[in-house]
Chains A and B, each alone.
Chain A
Amino acid sequence: MTFTASQLLALLPLLLTTGAMVALMLAIAWKRCDDTAFVVTIAGLNLALFSLPIVMAQGDQGVTPLLQIDGYAVFYMGLVLIGALATCTFGRSWLKGYPDNREEFYLLLLIATAGGLVLAGSRHLASLYIGIEMLTLPMFGLVGYAYRERHSLEASIKYMVLSAAATAFLLFGMALLYAQAGSLSFSDLGLTLATTPAHHPLLMGGLGLMLVGFAFKLSLAPFHLWTPDVYEGAPAPVATFLATVSKIAVFCVLLRFYLAVPAAADPMIHWLLAAMAVVSIVIGNLLALLQTNIKRMMGYSSISHFGYLLAVIVASRLGQMPVEAAGVYLLMYLFTSLGAFGVISMMSSPYRGKDADSLHSYRGLFWRRPYLTAVLTVMMLSLAGIPMTLGFIGKFYLIGVTVDAKLWWLSGAIVLGSALGLYYYLRVMVTLYLREPGMQLRDAKGDWAITSGGLVVLLSAALVVALGLYPQPVISLVQGFQNVVLH
């Protein structure tokens, strides 16, 4: 197999990230130093991020049968890298108080990021599987990184056991598809399966089992049960990564798969996906209503957000601009989650045992840390989809897409879900501004704003507001990237 120069250039983000991974391993073997580890990681990820324009300049590149580096891939690679960078900066503050080895945190993070990058460009079930596993396996270690905490260790084991089961389903589903189609690449699958009679048991069974795997990773109902526990147990920076990078990458590949394989648009599957979307929206929002733990609440809230996004997939064959809508929504979701989890991270850093995740810790935060509170307020407004935040633009797109596809009841579910959601987001906001302080077990450090994590949080808030008021740059960006995937 030979690579042309432009193919190699197209692989640049992946190569740089894996390069950083190797460099970091060598650095750890030579001398443990968490500053070095941080610098190597940040440098590698930043180089990867800045290589994206070069990748873009190469145009649409198929690299081996496994990867398709097109605009769509570049866009999601960007999201993955931004999420990973932010996690790194949050992790650094958090690790300041961590008593054991700190360097492996960065290493695991880099491996998972590489997995995310593979998923962004995947056009083959083999690379899909490799990507998902590369993304998930390091997460076990990361979720359990605070292993002296019972919660953290427990979450890690739960995640591992359940994730392994889900992956087994995914793999078995792929095997069934292979048995039917004799190929693993998306385009071949699309061609072969188009001629397969509908409701062929191998085909349907394969797709169904794959759907289980995807639904687990995206925590869609009824495969969502792990989400709140793992979010709660994982250290706040890791929860950030789990909520953003790992879900965005999986969603990216799911959308590409769904668009490439027409058999996936079988009316039965279509109907089932819609039902899953509605159930996820309802369950996520209902369960979040009474949460007093902010990390669990974010977990439930992410269930509902991916329910909304699933609606886009349902609409993707009926209307226009689904890829665009998903891109805008995920961009919004990335920055908003980074901001919200960033604040939780700030509050829980440096590591001192359990995270500050009880809503009590945030009571009256405004009177102690007004700017941090402002950031969290903006993020809550954005998650709730209030205008003048990026969240509104995202909701606007989603509703627009479902209306365009004439899926009235699905858009009704989105609107209703947002109304329910507003209640608990507002509850968090109200708590922040109450006069009397709650239990001040934890608090952000006074100089949070001048740490790297603080800057990321402030930047996210600024972007959420600025792009909420003037979204055209986002829209143009996403539009520029979307044409490629639809060929």
Chain B
Amino acid sequence: MQRIAWLIPVLPLAGAAFHGLLGRRAGKKAVTAVALGTVGISFILSLVLFFAAKGADAHRLDYTYFEWMTVGTLKVPFGLVFDPLSTVMALVVSGIGALIHLYSVGYMWEEEGYARYFCYLNLFVFFMLTLVLGSSLPLLFVGWEGVGLCSYLLIGYYIETDYAPAAGLKAFLFNRVGDLGMTMGMMALFATFGTLTVADILVKAGHMSPEVTCGVLTFATLMMFVGATGKSAQIPLYLWLPDAMAGPTPVSALIHAATMVTSGIYLICRLAPVFELTPTTLTVVAWTGGLTALFAATIGLFQRDIKKVLAYSTVSQLGYMFLGLGAAGFAAGFFHVFTHAWFKALLFLGAGSVIHGLHHQQDLFKMGGLKAKMPITFWTMVIATLCIMGFPGTSGFFSKDEILYLAYLKSPALYVIGLLGAACTAFYMWRLMGLAFWGEPRDHHAHDHAHESPWTMTGPLAVLAVGALLAGLLGIPKIWGGHFAIEGWLEPSLTYGKAEVAEAAEHGSHALAWGLMGLSTLVASGCALAGFLIYSKGTAAEEAFAERHPLLYRVLSNKYYVDEGVETFILAPVRWLGNLGWKLFDVILIDGVGVNLPGAVTRIAGDFTARTQTGRVRNYALGMAFGTVLLLWIFLK
């Protein structure tokens, strides 16, 4: 098994190398075959390893290939881990990845940089699998940075536009802020545990008692969480994700909805026993997640770009996942990662199909009446929408309700925030559906040319729709007669290294669970109905609303003006500072002192003006003299 396991990440890498080096000469067919083949085989191998891990002792296979780095006392092995958590995630990455590769064939066929696109996409799968399977934090970090790089490259894929490269840069920079946190967190963990291998950290953490005050461990986990907010687009680092929609739509589906953006949640689950030791951090996680869930959902209410709606919806759903984690429901949070991957990928691919059918029209107000023209896209998107709003029996229903239930146990305020967010979600999703598929076509030209997409695109839609419906079966709650199977399955990963595994404490009562579930279902259904009824008739109601409440409407549709705020209060001052530094040194100190105070300076530094023709060298000498005097003064005082 060990001999083939490494192929899982390496095959997509080989594919990327092929596309990069030979892609253009080999032609589109060869590129297609290699891209699909490598990811497909990776998926099959992941499946094999999934069952192998299931049969292994403690459901865990730990393969070390070689010593990667030995730095002082720190030994970093190059190894892969197959345990319940990583295998499920690897299956999602390679499985949904394969489907999206297939979809991309149709979507990108006519683009010029076909090989370049698949090169980046395969490379992304490689890094994502490295992130998921890596046995040590540095290896995970390599994947973490690598997916960031691929995301940057793919967002900026439409290189000839102005906005795409800028959006890519924005994503990269925001992620770096998070990575600073991650680096600090990693170092703090190293300082605490003396190792960076995940399994060793967890074993050592298993013998520790929770940290009540804010010590090093709280610092470490908080910093890790900062890293997670960057990658998973939480407040305050969420701004890059909506802009990231400048990339091709399948990329949005794979990277910016289903896989990469959930790696922050994955990271916390990976280190779950450590996070459990730091209740302060968990509270921060829960509140950040809850607030992001609501905040992003309200922004989603009045966006006109179909992909922007979905982008804010992703930010909001990621918030729910963190809310679940913060409420110590690691399994619940990860369950939502799993279900969300299916239905959000489906929503994005459906949106991509609509955009493709309408020849790159993304404005919801110019769509309408597509129900009959694109039946497969329509029906699959209905399924996804039911899932995301949490319609009883769908996958989103089970995962979201579990999170809301745990949130209530943590703090009723969090539940209310989550419930409001869910209400907004239901409303904006049915607004989207109503505007796109029902009503009169508002752009007749586009509507006349609209067509259903080819099978390579509708096929993945159908598979994802089935997946979205069935994904919930893994986590049927106890009150429905199930036993929340995913929790039991993930338990070996989430409690790894613990000295003694406490019996999961049962809180609340069945009545409470039923009551909360009923309430949220009722609220969501009501909002969904409202959204549908208002918007299936057209855009008139929204225009009327905008007239009646201009301020509210403007604030929401302009995303609370956060981008503008960042520009004014953060970016402008930094630029100003850079400018100032430049002015201070080159202009004031050098030119200013040099030109305006020539008398004194000339006498001290000697007259080199004639020889150098700039009069600057004396100022440099003067700077040196200042420095020396300062140094000596400090030394001798």
Contact = CB atoms under 8 A, between A and B. Distances in A.
Interface of A: 150, 154, 157-158, 161-162, 165-166, 169, 201, 204-205, 207-209, 211-212, 215-216, 222-223, 225-226, 229, 268-269, 272, 283, 286-287, 289-290, 320-321, 324, 386-388, 392-393, 396-397, 399-400, 403-404, 411-412, 415-416, 419, 422-423, 426, 430, 433-435, 470-472, 475-476, 479
A475 B75 CA distance: 12
Given A209-B628, A388-B142, A399-B187, A475 B71 contact: yes
21 contacts: A158-B617, A161-B608, A205-B635, A225-B619, A225-B620, A226-B620, A229-B616, A286-B577, A289-B575, A320-B72, A324-B72, A387-B145, A400-B187, A403-B187, A415-B180, A422-B173, A430-B169, A433-B159, A470-B68, A471-B68, A475-B71
A33 B137 CA distance: 57
Interface of B: 67-74, 138, 141-142, 145-146, 149, 159-160, 165, 169, 172-173, 176-177, 180, 183-184, 187-188, 190-191, 574-575, 577-579, 581-582, 585, 590, 608, 611-614, 616-617, 619-621, 623-624, 626-628, 630-632, 634-636
A426 B172 contact: yes
Given A205-B636, A287-B585, A225 B624 contact: yes
Nearest to B184: A415
Contact of A161 (B169, B191, B617, B626): B617
Contacts of A205: 632, 635-636
Nearest to B611: A157
B169 A435 contact: no
A209 B629 CA distance: 10
Contacts of B632: 205, 208-209
| 5 A-B pairs with the lowest CB-CB distances in the bound complex, closest first | A289-B578, A222-B627, A208-B635, A387-B145, A204-B635
B146 A387 contact: yes
A223 B631 CA distance: 11
Contacts of B581: 283, 286-287, 289
Given A161-B621, A229-B620, A283-B581, 10 more contacts: A157-B608, A161-B617, A209-B628, A211-B631, A212-B627, A216-B624, A386-B149, A388-B145, A403-B191, A415-B183
Nearest to B66: A472
A157 B612 contact: yes
Contact of B620 (A162, A201, A283, A476): A162
A204 B617 contact: no
A403 B190 contact: yes
A471 B612 contact: no
A371 to B, nearest CB: 11
B126 to A, nearest CB: 11
Contact of A400 (B74, B160, B577, B590): B74
B69 A472 contact: yes
Contacts of B620: 158, 162, 225-226, 229
A400 B72 contact: yes
A166 B617 CA distance: 13
Contacts of A387: 141-142, 145-146
B634 A223 contact: no
Most B CB contacts (10 A, CB to CB) among A225, A272, A386, A422 go to A225
A161 to B, nearest CB: 6
A423 B71 contact: no
B636 A208 contact: yes
B145 A272 contact: no
B159 A400 contact: no
A277 to B, nearest CB: 14
B68 A201 contact: no
A426 B138 CA distance: 23
Nearest to A479: B70
B149 A399 contact: no
Contacts of A403: 187-188, 190-191
A475 B70 contact: yes
Contacts of A422: 172-173, 176
A314 to B, nearest CB: 16
Contacts of A392: 145
B628 A212 contact: yes
Contacts of B617: 157-158, 161-162
Nearest to B606: A161
Contacts of A290: 575, 578-579, 582
Nearest to B72: A321
A150 B613 CA distance: 10
Contacts of B177: 419
B142 A154 contact: no
B634 A222 contact: no
Given A387-B142, A399-B187, A166 B578 contact: no
Contacts of A416: 180
